Amino acid sequence: MSKVITPQQQDYSKWYNDIVIQADMADHSAVRGCMVIKPTGYAIWEKMQQTLDKMFKDTGHVNAYFPLFIPKSLFEAEEKNAEGFAKECAVVTHYRLKTDPQNPGKLIVDPEAKLEEELIVRPTSEAIIWNTYKGWIESYRDLPLLINQWANVVRWEMRTRLFLRTAEFLWQEGHTAHATKDEAIAETRQMLEVYADFAENWMAMPVIKGVKTANERFAGADDTYTIEALMQDGKALQAGTSHFLGQNFAKAFDVKFANKEGKLDYVWATSWGVSTRLMGALIMSHSDNMGLVIPPKLAPTQVVIVPIYKGEEGLAKVSEVANVIKQKLQQKNISVKYDNRDSQRPGFKFAEHELKGIPIRIAIGERDLENGTIEIARRDLLSKQVIKIEEVENYVSTLLEDIQTNLFNKALERRNNLTTKVNTYEEFKKVLDEKTGFVMAHWDGTPETEEKIKQETKATIRCIPLNNEQEEGVCIYSGKPSTQRVVFARAY
């Protein structure tokens, strides 16, 4: 294959981009900052969607769909939220084109088709959804509302990177309404647990669960919970957030309900989301210089079988065995592809399947058949094993679980190695620059200190971990007393 991936060690950012492009995951588009998600990448996103959707439904949620556009006056209603997103909004101002009288065959925006009120392309849907909920909620009997939406959103980013930061991205956004504060907080935390479960047990990506500081909170939230992952280059990635919105949106949109005693009160809200950004996190958690590595539970194709043969007769002999193996594996709900293209040689196929991250490759040669054996290669370790054909089902089943576990353990070990406790600001800066990773340090709890550290080092507080260990100490920056360490890092 002529495709070459820049080694991670040489240029991490270029390595990432090479993987995305060369493994056919996504592509740049003609629209500034917008990506095309290619079939190979989209198939993984579909697996993510299916898994998450089931988790949401198992926790009592249903799906719905709300408009793409938000009238400006609604968008403004919750001031903090509006302020937080105002600088990155795509705005629709006209609803018609017309032929350019100066330039036949070309179109111009028809100045007579100007909207009375501009429409914002949703950067997030709290405003349009809470304006809708107002009509749906009258009494406690209408609560809770547990609704999720799969949608595209637009945030006009100046610096974009495929999957990690794009002007348009795909996501899900849950928006729930509750009668009590406690119930809303419980929901917020439940969805954080769902996200952590998905990240760790499906993406094989260990995460720290925690709460954001006021500076890093979602615009319009009382509290933002987050799962934070660590990429191979030692930078943090916020992988999912769950917001306790208090009564902020209920007040902005005047959404009240009658409680059991008939008294009117504002409704309590949550919202939570993960996006195609997870695709970037997946790539940067496991892949290597040969290409993508996909955890088996999210791999659209888990096993690929490659025949090694001479001539049509040879292929027929190998195919007979290959098809039996394929069928046996499929009966165990393992997804298998038999790559019997005659246009490519086995070596080319091996490289391609490695590049695209298929967890297990089975090679079957004519000589193997005589011995009753096949060769099995695992993508994560790039190691091979010859086994007896009759062992294949059990071997592959177990191996898929092994790979899933191994990927998680490897990522966890890396994260542990890249998590450092520091006690001074000097040490803090040195670790950030030389070792990178999560830095656990005491902080005085003020937004001012946090902001100064960010300006001086580009590190932010990723979160205050849930059930954080309490420990006396002094802030690395101000020297003021502190009761706990928080998680700092440079982040995507």
Binding site for a second copy (CB under 8 A): 27, 29-31, 34-39, 42-43, 45-46, 62-72, 74-76, 79, 82-83, 86-99, 105-107, 109, 118-121, 128, 131-132, 135, 141, 147, 151-152, 154, 156, 168, 170, 343
Q: How far is the CB of 235 from a second copy (least distance, A)?
A: 26
Q: How far is the CB of 178 from a second copy (least distance, A)?
A: 17
Pick between residue 95 and residue 456 the one whose CB is nearest to a second copy. 95
Q: How far is the CB of 340 from a second copy (least distance, A)?
A: 16
Q: How far is the CB of 34 from a second copy (least distance, A)?
A: 4
Pick between residue 71 and residue 314 the one whose CB is nearest to a second copy. 71
Pick between residue 111 and residue 311 the one whose CB is nearest to a second copy. 111
Pick between residue 107 and residue 382 the one whose CB is nearest to a second copy. 107
Rounded to whole angstroms, how far apart are CA atoms 151 and 262?
36
Pick between residue 96 and residue 384 the one whose CB is nearest to a second copy. 96
Angstrom distances, CA of residue 184 to CA of 143, 187, 414, 465: 11, 5, 35, 20
Q: How far is the CB of 474 from a second copy (least distance, A)?
A: 39
**H or E stretch at 384:** strand 383-388
Q: How far is the CB of 42 from a second copy (least distance, A)?
A: 5
Q: How far is the CB of 73 from a second copy (least distance, A)?
A: 9
Query: Taking a C-beta distance cutoff of 8 angstroms, is the pair 326, 347 a contact?
Result: no
Q: Which residue has the tokens 């990690």?
A: 164
Q: How far is the CB of 166 from a second copy (least distance, A)?
A: 9
Radius of gyration for the alpha carbons in the chain, expressed in angstroms and rounded = 26
From the CB of residue 98, how many other CB atoms can be counted at a distance below 10 Å? 12
Pick between residue 134 and residue 235 the one whose CB is nearest to a second copy. 134
Pick between residue 338 and residue 408 the one whose CB is nearest to a second copy. 338
Rounded to whole angstroms, how far apart are CA atoms 140 and 332?
46
Rounded to whole angstroms, how far apart are CA atoms 411 and 288?
12
Q: Residue 440: what residue type?
A: M
Q: How far is the CB of 335 from a second copy (least distance, A)?
A: 12
Q: How many CA atoms does the CB half-sphere of 179 hold within 13 Å?
A: 15
How far does the chain reach from its first CA to its final CA, in angstroms? Answer: 31
Query: Taking a C-beta distance cutoff of 8 angstroms, is the pair 302, 335 a contact?
Result: yes
225 burial level (CB within 10 Å; 0-12, 13-18, 19+) = buried
Residue 375 in tokens: 């060769």
Angstrom distances, CA of residue 251 to CA of 77, 134, 225: 9, 11, 22
**Cβ neighbours of residue 368 under 8 Å, at least 6 residues apart?**
308, 374, 375, 386
DSSP 321: H
Q: Which residue has the tokens 């934070």?
A: 228
Could you tell me if residue 262 is left (phi over 0), alpha (psi between -120 and 50 degrees) or otherwise beta? left
Q: How far is the CB of 432 from a second copy (least distance, A)?
A: 32
Q: Which residue has the tokens 């939220």?
A: 81
Rounded to whole angstroms, how far apart are CA atoms 392 and 321?
12
Pick between residue 44 and residue 192 the one whose CB is nearest to a second copy. 44
> Cα 49 vs. chain centroid, distance in angstroms?
10
- Strand, helix or coil for residue 385: strand
From the CB of residue 70, how many other CB atoms can be counted at a distance below 10 Å? 26
Pick between residue 64 and residue 324 the one whose CB is nearest to a second copy. 64
Q: How far is the CB of 427 from a second copy (least distance, A)?
A: 41
Pick between residue 12 and residue 156 the one whose CB is nearest to a second copy. 156
Pick between residue 153 and residue 396 the one whose CB is nearest to a second copy. 153
Q: How far is the CB of 370 from a second copy (least distance, A)?
A: 34
Pick between residue 63 and residue 327 the one whose CB is nearest to a second copy. 63
**What are the φ/ψ torsions at residue 295 (nearest 5 degrees)?**
-60, 140
Rounded to whole angstroms, how far apart are CA atoms 112 and 96?
9
